[in-house]
Amino acid sequence: MSSSYSSTSSSVDTQVLKPQSLRAAWPALLALCLTMLVEMVDNSILNVALPTIGRDLSASPADLQWIVGAYSLTFGGLLMVGGTMGDKLGRRRTLLFGLVLFGLTGLGVLLVSTPAQLIAVRALAGVFAAFIAPLTMSLIFRLFDRDDLRTRAIGLIVVVSMIGFAVGPTIAGLAITNLPWQALLVVNAPVAVIAWLGVRFGVAEDDPADRREGGADIPGGILSVASLGFLLYGFTAGVEYGWAAPLTVLVFAAGVLSLAGFIWREKTAEDPMLDLKLLALPTVSGSAILQTATMIAMVGVMFVSTQLYQFAWGWSAFQAGLANLPFVAGMLLAGPFVDRAVARFGHRKTSIGGIALVIVSLIIWIFALTHGFLWCAVGMLIMTMGMRTIMTTGAVALLGALPETRTSIGSALNDTAQELGNAVGVAIVGTIMATVLGSTLPQGAWDSATVAGFVHSQQISFTVLAGIVLVMSIIGVRTLTDSREVDEH
């Protein structure tokens, strides 16, 4: 007589029944998918709402840049700390704790009345998301005891997360037509409640024997966030106060010192957040560089496109949200071809093809800014096909270069590379926009001169992004092998 569960011994329970199908584990699997979905949607959901937020809070271009970038900054900077905390305190316990605080932070937007307050809320949300994301994948191994089910479940969560990132602006456009923009973040609270219930009742309790000894290297996490935050804010200060202004110089100096402190800390700490020896592995560092480069381009385009549609072209938020659907289409269309390409050509050649698509899409966007939405759609479609290619091959190459015992930290490093790209991409286009247009934007409809200035600034931005992607890709691709492996382990 068959059963949809198998029995496995555990120090928590005498007999723990493991699901033998995805359907048998649907409450927990739904919760983990929702957790990953809300994390990724939060990366992009405010993009469409930026014009509305800008008018409502009288936000400057620099404010808009940080409203988007603050989440990625703290999220990416603390991902590895969150993963370590899960290993030390228990993955299920840490995830439940993170979901509660993440949901409460979403409600905090109801108290916001200034750009600075919204930036603070976004940064805090990123902190708590960092205590959620690394644990979502690891709990799959707790949920199932069969490798084929683990692979299928991880594949499902990856697809959900990638679609969530791409569909975020579309969801926002649909919602903001009839709801205030604050609803885009308040919705995190009920989603977090559903996810909390699914994890609480669908995932087995933590086994004390699985907990890792040692510290969580919180100082390392703080220094990583501080170094990136100061360096990115230096560009904002340069535009607002002058590149030779004392404040600008002081901020850049603080960033350099924080970065030096982070490197020193990771070299000397007994339990470092990031073992720098991993970055000495060429394939690991190269894969991370490729993913960072791709996300710099992707997020830069997403940040610009919604402002182009609404500020320059006068579209509604609903229209701007629907205009992002080619991002989703490209993500889905590329899926069946990536594994085939890797199996036939290997990681290196497939990645070269993916990067070529990203660079071509940026060139198309330079042209599309003055030639209408059809060209924008083509650029979006090509970009996301390239992004899907790089994200898949990069993750497999990075994790495949590590021993089995280091894949958890490798997964966190993979996510950190992507979030670093998020923060840097927004910083680049936001800084160029502020340099060309000034520190304030008109609150009403833009006149032709402002539209022309905006378009010119983004033609510069996309040219700069293409150059950055090209240089980083040359460095990254050289480290990859001709491996034809297509599964993460």
Are 394 and 471 members of one domain? Answer: yes
Are 107 and 51 members of one domain? Answer: yes
Are 225 and 180 members of one domain? Answer: no
Query: Which of 210, 238, 259 represents a domain boundary (last residue)?
Result: 210
Q: Does 158 map to a domain?
A: yes
pLDDT of residue 462: 95
Q: Does 240 map to a domain?
A: yes
Are 342 and 377 members of one domain? Answer: yes
Q: Does 16 map to a domain?
A: no
Q: Does 370 map to a domain?
A: yes
C-alpha span between 264 and 470 (Å, rounded): 30
Residue 255 tokens read as: 């960033």
pLDDT of residue 299: 87
Q: Does 5 map to a domain?
A: no
Are 142 and 261 members of one domain? Answer: no
Are 162 and 289 members of one domain? Answer: no
Number of domains in the chain: 3
Are 261 and 197 members of one domain? Answer: no
Are 195 and 241 members of one domain? Answer: no
pLDDT of residue 303: 85
Are 330 and 239 members of one domain? Answer: no
Q: Does 106 map to a domain?
A: yes
pLDDT of residue 12: 42
Query: Which of 172, 188, 210 represents a domain boundary (last residue)?
Result: 210
Q: Does 118 map to a domain?
A: yes
Are 309 and 435 members of one domain? Answer: yes
Q: Does 2 map to a domain?
A: no
Return averaged pLDDT per consecutive 10 residues of the chain, 489 residues in all.
Answer: 44 56 77 79 77 86 83 82 77 87 92 93 90 76 69 71 72 81 89 86 73 72 86 80 87 92 88 79 86 91 87 84 82 76 81 93 94 93 89 77 65 80 86 79 74 91 95 86 55
pLDDT of residue 86: 77
CATH number of the domain where residue 430 is located: 1.20.1250.20
C-alpha span between 109 and 189 (Å, rounded): 11
Are 66 and 131 members of one domain? Answer: yes
Domain holding 262, by residue range, is 218-268
Are 284 and 254 members of one domain? Answer: no
pLDDT of residue 320: 84
